[in-house]
Amino acid sequence: MKTFKHDLVEVEQLVQVNEAGKRHYETPNGNKYPSVTTVLNVLSKAAIQEWRNHIGEEKANKIMRSSSNRGTNAHKVIEKYIWNQKNYLNGSMPDAIELFKEIQPILDEKVDNVRMIEGRLWSDEYKIAGTVDLIADWDGVLSAIDWKTSLKHVSEDHPKMLKYKIQGAAYAKMFEERTGIEVPQVVVAIMVSGMNSIPSIKFSPMEEENPNVLIFKTTPSEWENRLKWLCETHK
């Protein structure tokens, strides 16, 4: 088990609230901002509804619940591991343990100098808020890191990746606004479960070594304009 170095940065606390069934956060100044995921849902709303219509509401709801639980369970194991907890696997579901075993060698090799774990952030400029999975060095570069799970592989040009990259950019910009520390890189790590075969699409060298963990990297500046447009549109 690796011991991660912690150089944690503290920010003022947010309060999570629900308005009209959507997640919002209340800042210390009393402002209420929508979550990043709420704002980004506009990118996938039409596609999700088409998928629901195709397979039926009951089956769609079952898949969504299963996916959410799988992602939450895997997040919890990773979070405890990066907190250097020795009992990080205690109480974990088997599927979460299997996903963690796939990504653990990558965490050990790539992640260090942890600044924030499951930290709530907000931006008065963009008028959004959210909870970032991890702010830490990835290969020596300070990064906003987001853990995702998927039942199948996704390529760089998959529609999901647009949403994921803008989400990561939002966390990077919010962290910078709150702390004054620039985050020059976004990392999206997707743990793939239920695979029966290796995909034909090409990935980076790391992904070829472990086809069940897909790593995508980008910069916040590449997505800043789209983030601004989405935030303005949501208003």
Over residues 179-229, the pLDDT tens digits come to 999 999 999 999 987 544 344 333 443 444 577 899 999 999 999 998 998
Judge whether 129 and 19 are in contact, CB under 8 Å.
no
- Residues 174 and 108: their CA atoms lie apart, in Å, by 26
On average, the pLDDT of the chain sits at 83
Those residues of the chain that have pLDDT short of 70 are 42-71, 194-209, 235
Residue ranges of the domains in the chain? 15-234
Burial class (CB in 10 A: 0-12, 13-18, 19+), 25: buried
**What CATH architecture applies to the domain 15-234?**
Alpha-Beta Complex (3.90)
Asked whether the whole model's pTM tops 0.95, one would answer no
- Residues 70 and 191: their CA atoms lie apart, in Å, by 10
Judge whether 231 and 128 are in contact, CB under 8 Å.
yes
